[in-house]
Structure 1
Amino acid sequence: MNTAVISVCVAVVLFVTRETASISPELQAAADAWQGSLPCGGWNCECAFSKQSCCCAAAQMDNLEEYIFNRLMNVWTALLELEKHIMETAGGRMVAFTATMSQMSGCFGPFTCDVPIPYGNVTLNHGNGYNPALGIFTAPCAGIFSFSLTVYSNKGSEGQRLYQRVALVRQGRSEAATWEDNREDAEDSATQTVLFSLSAGEQVYVQLMSGREICGDMWGQNIFSGYLLYPTES
């Protein structure tokens, strides 16, 4: 019995083309006269003889399409709400900066006291938290911040003393440092990356320690950068 129904469906599909929805009277009469059970519960003859490849599952397919459409609309609405919440939380607090030391063939230092390093070449300063005149970053809001420090020095030839110590300072206190003291390398570099929980107005900067020096940076390889990971105030 099911085989007969399937044969009718296949015949309908074969005879209906993209250009016309006509079908032979014999096939339509056979479908209308069918008295047996159908595999999907019912036959929509109006649909079957007016649309290409339409069958008795048309109603179920319409319901499925509507269900999927409603689900997609719900997901889209949820994404819009999430985007709105993110913008309300982080809007106006996009904070990031990157700065390098000016090119130098000589050395910065040594000095008789600790000296903030002037990273004067600013390539990024979203939120204007970094002051290139002072070399100091001031947190515009409370949050978790990531800071990265790269120190490079080149004495030009082996046998000369590489002698640098640079510290990342938060509110006057050294929190991380990198140093070098040897006569084996003509040049060397090191990088530190740290996370700080800062209150609004707290300051972070880099300083060269007393008696040390940074030399021969011709390509801006001494870098100070940072960004707001996420705000912590309500």
Structure 2
Amino acid sequence: VTHLFLASNCFYINNSHSSGLCLDVLMSYTGSLPCGGWDCECAFRRQQSCCCVAQPLFDLEEATFIRMVGLWEGLSHLNSQIEELTAGCKISFNAAMLPMSGCLGPFTSNVSISYQSVSLNQGNGYNPALGTFTAPHAGLYSFSFTAYSNVGSAGQRLYQKMQLMKNGQLIASSWEDNREDSEDSSSQTVLLQLRRGCQVYVELMSGRQLCGDTQGQNTFSGYLVYPFSEQ
């Protein structure tokens, strides 16, 4: 059965037999179509459609496709920018002082500590000879250090102060001054915004000392949280 409907805004075909029968019915129709004509692609290949909305639908499909292509190109460009920004930005290090039974210090001036036992140095930003980290890339970095000292017995003076420095500026410190404990430790963790070439290190303050670190418990570590675009 073939149904032919003429409405104020639509010419609709419901084809339950062959497309040839539909074609015969349509070709024999002598009246005027409210939408000016039918679309063969729409009417016969898709089985059900409306001649009045066929072309707008095709236009919408094309516009949607063009927009999707534009979005894909935009995402591809953004992905390229992200890859360019993060390329070579896997930066991290972890180092410890070499085990010692004696003491480091006291000195007459502040001394940068050389953490020579390096277990990680991704990006080669850390220099174990100087104990200094130089930022290979601008970004937000996390740094941590642990200060440990053991004077051997209670009654001896635990007297140390460690300072985390950025380009010669004091950022954070850890200190101990008591005769009640034979050993003690403390840690600090900070987030720093660095430009390429900025230097971060830990120093032992003048007149203070670190003793009895036989297990290499004095450590210094850091890593890049996320990079900044170089300006």
Amino acid of the residue matched to residue 230 of structure 1?
Y
Matched, 1:149 2:145: yes
Residue pairs, 1:86-97, within 5 angstroms: 86-97=82-93
1:29-68 Cα distance to aligned partner (Å, 9 max, x none): xxxxxxxxxxxxxxxxxxxxxxxxxxxxxxxxxxxxxxxx
Amino acid of the residue matched to residue 150 of structure 2?
N
**Structure 2 residue aligned with 1:162:** 158
2:93/2:120 contact within 8 Å kept: yes
2:85/2:229 contact within 8 Å kept: no
CA distance in 1 between counterparts of 2:111 and 2:127 reads 16
Matched, 1:185 2:216: no
2:160/2:210 contact within 8 Å kept: yes
**Structure 2 residue aligned with 1:122:** 118
**Aligned-pair Cα RMSD in Å:** 2.0
| Secondary structure of the corresponding residue to residue 153 of structure 2 | coil
> Unaligned regions of 5+ residues in structure 2, if any?
1-71
CA distance in 1 between counterparts of 2:165 and 2:130 reads 13
CA distance in 1 between counterparts of 2:196 and 2:141 reads 11
Identity score, percent: 60
1:186-212 Cα distance to aligned partner (Å, 9 max, x none): 000000000110111010000000000
CA distance in 2 between counterparts of 1:140 and 1:95 reads 8
**Structure 2 residue aligned with 1:209:** 205
2:142/2:225 contact within 8 Å kept: yes
TM-score (norm 2): 0.65
CA distance in 2 between counterparts of 1:204 and 1:175 reads 10
Shift of 1:84: 6.3
2:127 maps to which of 123, 126, 131: 131
1:67-90 Cα distance to aligned partner (Å, 9 max, x none): xxxxxxxxxx9xx96976654331
CA distance in 1 between counterparts of 2:103 and 2:157 reads 12
**Structure 1 residue aligned with 2:195:** 199
Matched, 1:104 2:68: no
CA distance in 2 between counterparts of 1:86 and 1:97 reads 23
Shift of 1:110: 0.3
Residue pairs, 1:38-53, within 5 angstroms: none
| Secondary structure of the corresponding residue to residue 85 of structure 2 | helix
* More strand as a share of residues: 2
| Secondary structure of the corresponding residue to residue 89 of structure 1 | helix
Amino acid of the residue matched to residue 207 of structure 1?
E
**Structure 2 residue aligned with 1:219:** 215
Shift of 1:183: 0.1
CA distance in 2 between counterparts of 1:83 and 1:182 reads 56
Amino acid of the residue matched to residue 101 of structure 1?
M
TM-score (norm 1): 0.64
Count the aligned residue pairs: 158
CA distance in 2 between counterparts of 1:207 and 1:166 reads 6
**Structure 2 residue aligned with 1:19:** none
| Secondary structure of the corresponding residue to residue 168 of structure 1 | strand
**Structure 2 residue aligned with 1:232:** 228
CA distance in 2 between counterparts of 1:111 and 1:150 reads 20
